[in-house]
Structures are given as C-alpha cells and as structure tokens.
Chain A
Amino acid sequence: AQKITQTQPGMFVQEKEAVTLDCTYDTSDQSYGLFWYKQPSSGEMIFLIYQGSYDEQNATEGRYSLNFQKARKSANLVISASQLGDSAMYFCAMRERDSSASKIIFGSGTRLSIRP
C-alpha cells in the first residue's frame, strides 16, 4: 500500500535562509507522481511542485525545488531564501498510476514557521 511519511511536525527557520522539508514514500508502482502542497492558515491547498517517477531531473518552480532520490524513496522540498509568507503547513503527496487521474495520498504535514 502506498504511504507518505513526513517526520518533521514543525520547523522554525530564520527569514532568508533555505529550508528542507523531508518526505519519504512507499509504493510498489513504477509509475507515480509526487506533489507538494502548501496550506496557509486560511485553509486553501496551494499546489507548489510536481515530480514524475520517470523524470530524471529534479523539478524546480521558482524558489521551490524537489530533491528526488528514487533509490531512497525520498522527495524533499527545498525552499530557497525563505520569506515570512512561507509560514504554513506543507504536505507531501503521491499519486500512483501516474499516467491517469487518480487519488492522491497525503502525508501528515510539516508546519513551517519563518522568523523575521
């Protein structure tokens, strides 16, 4: 069965520093997709970045990058030059059978707090 593990319940980081949020996953599928979503205190889920299991390059979107280590089954999110507005819950998620639309399984999340 697929599973997402986020071992950091909360993190505090100084503004402008880089931060890495950990995520490991478990799946028996060869084709899967990995996602990171941000959930501010307002509650909406905001898509940040996607990595396909067959992608050879790590995904990047602006200040976000995904450190994909397939053999270790890890998909850590790196946020460069953190900003106060980055304070939020961050969820790692996975979709099996990535060739078509299907459910996403979420981890338990990491609460990131940025200190000024």
Chain B
Amino acid sequence: GAGVSQTPSNKVTEKGKYVELRCDPISGHTALYWYRQSLGQGPEFLIYFQGTGAADDSGLPNDRFFAVRPEGSVSTLKIQRTERGDSAVYLCASSVLGGGAYEQYFGPGTRLTVT
C-alpha cells in the first residue's frame, strides 16, 4: 500500500516568507508526527496529532510554527516569517494509535531552504 507522502519534496523560500508543508499519512493511521532534521543530526520532535487534535506540541520552537490536521488525515505544517535557521528537512511520520512495537512510518521529507 501507499506509504507516507510529503509535498513538496524541496522548497526554497526567502527569509521572512510564509511556507506550508503537507503530509499525507498512511490510510488508517490515527497518529501523525512532525519532526525536523538538521544536517548531521537526528530528527527532532515538533508536534504529534491524535486524530484532529494536537496531543503534544512541546517541540514547536516558537509561535512562528503551527500545524493543523482538520479532518484527521492530511496535516499541514505552517511556518511564518521564515528564518535561515529554519532550513532543514521536515519529516512526517504516522502510526496506529498504540504503543509497543507499533513503529512510526516516515515519509521522504521536505527539504526547506531559507535564503
């Protein structure tokens, strides 16, 4: 079946602009996660959704970052007034609502470059 998809795969924007990154999870996966991966680092947690609501947004770095999942499927990560430090690969993952061996399935990521 189809995996997690993310669009666009690459995004170049100017400092100060607004960007939206989209994630389409695996069908039936209720949990959706956003991570940010800087060059040479491990993914860093941003936010996690259970259904339509954000269950944990403790990783969002500041109020320029916001994410929605209005119908409990597709999610959009929104970044306002982008800064050069926002440049990274933004990864989306989805999973069933359960712990244990239920791993998170990752998408290919969106590479964001802020010039």
Q: How many A-B residue pairs have CB under 8 A?
A: 71
B positions within 8 Å CB-CB of A:
30-31, 33, 35, 40-45, 48, 50, 55-56, 58-59, 89, 91, 93, 95-106, 108-109
Of the candidates A43, A44, A109, the one whose C-beta lies within 8 Å of that of B42 is A109
Contact B97–A35 (Cβ < 8 Å)? no
Chain A: how many interface residues by the 8 Å CB criterion? 26
Shortest Cβ gap from B50 to chain A (Å): 7
A positions within 8 Å CB-CB of B:
4, 33, 35, 37, 43-45, 47, 50, 52, 91, 93, 95, 97-109
Q: Can you add 14 more A-B contacts, CB < 8 Å, to A100-B97, A100-B99, A103-B56?
A: A45-B91, A47-B104, A47-B105, A52-B100, A91-B43, A101-B95, A101-B96, A102-B99, A103-B59, A105-B45, A108-B41, A108-B42, A109-B40, A109-B41
Of the candidates B56, B91, B105, the one whose C-beta lies within 8 Å of that of A102 is B56
A sample of 11 inter-chain contacts (CB < 8 A) reads A52-B100, A95-B99, A100-B98, A100-B99, A101-B30, A101-B96, A101-B97, A103-B33, A106-B43, A108-B41, A109-B42
Of the candidates A43, A47, A97, the one whose C-beta lies within 8 Å of that of B99 is A97
